A and B are shown apart, each in its own frame.
Chain A
Amino acid sequence: AQKITQTQPGMFVQEKEAVTLDCTYDTSDPSYGLFWYKQPSSGEMIFLIYQGSYDQQNATEGRYSLNFQKARKSANLVISASQLGDSAMYFCAMREVNQAGTALIFGKGTTLSVSS
C-alpha cells in the first residue's frame, strides 16, 4: 500500500508568490515523522523541513513551512516568496518510528517551476 501520496506532478509559480505542495500519508503508527526534501537538477537530495507526529506547532524553516493536518493525514509544504532557485523536484517522506527499519519512505515527487 502506498504510504506517501503526492498528487501534483508539476506546479508552476511566479517569483515572489507563495506555493503549496500537497502530501498525504498513511500509517497506523501513532509515532512518525514527516520530511520534505528538495532535489535540484544536480541530483542531490537536500533536507528542508521536519514535522513530528506529536509536535503541537507546525514546523517552519525560513521560507518553508509545513501545514500539518493530522486528522486529514496531510503534510503540505508551503514555500513563501518563491525564488528562481526554488525550481526543483520536491519529495515528501515519512518515517515510522516503531518499525525495525527506520529509513524514509518517499512519495513520487512534485516538480516546481518558478518563472520570472
Chain B
Amino acid sequence: EAGVAQSPRYKIIEKRQSVAFWCNPISGHATLYWYQQILGQGPKLLIQFQNNGVVDDSQLPKDRFSAERLKGVDSTLKIQPAKLEDSAVYLCASSLLPSSGANVLTFGAGSRLTVL
C-alpha cells in the first residue's frame, strides 16, 4: 500500500510571499489532517477534512492559511502571505474513519518550510 505523499519536501521563501503544499492520502482514506510542527514541539492540528468537508479548522489562522480538499482525495494547504513564525514542518496525515478510538493516523514525510 502506498503511503501518504507530500510535496514539496523543502521550500524556502521570503516573508510576505505565498506557498502551497500538496498531499495525496492513502487510497480509500476518508479523513485527512494537516498538522504544523514547529521545531522542538509536537504537531499541532491545523485542519481536519472528512471527505471534502471541513470537520475542524478551529486552529487554522484563516487570515493567511487556507486549505481545500476537492473531490475528497488530494488536498492543498496554502499560506499567503507567509510570516517568519510560519517556519515549520507541515505534516499531512490520513485515516480510514474519524470516529473510531483505535483509528490510526498515517503520516506523510512532511514539507519543511523556511521563511526568511
What is the interface of chain A, defined by CB distance below 8 A to chain B?
4, 31-33, 35, 37, 42-47, 50, 52-53, 91, 93, 95, 97, 100-109
Contact = CB atoms under 8 A, between A and B. Distances in A.
A45 B101 contact: no
B41 A108 contact: yes
Interface string B75-112: 00000000000000101010000111111111111101
Contacts of A100: 55-56
B42 interface: yes
B107 A44 contact: yes
29 contacts: A31-B101, A33-B101, A33-B102, A37-B107, A42-B109, A43-B89, A43-B109, A43-B110, A45-B93, A45-B105, A46-B107, A47-B104, A50-B102, A53-B101, A91-B43, A97-B99, A97-B101, A101-B45, A101-B55, A102-B48, A102-B99, A103-B48, A104-B105, A105-B45, A107-B42, A108-B40, A108-B41, A108-B42, A109-B42
B22 interface: no
Nearest to A42: B109
Contacts of A32: 101
A45 B89 contact: no
A26 to B, nearest CB: 15
Q: Which of B101, B104, B109 has the most CB of A within 10 A?
A: B101
Contacts of B62: none
Interface of B: 31, 33, 40-45, 48, 55-56, 58, 89, 91, 93, 98-110, 112
Q: Is the interface of B mostly helix, strand, loop or mixed?
A: loop
B48 A101 contact: yes
B45 A45 contact: no
Contacts of B108: 44
A39 to B, nearest CB: 9
A97 B103 CA distance: 10
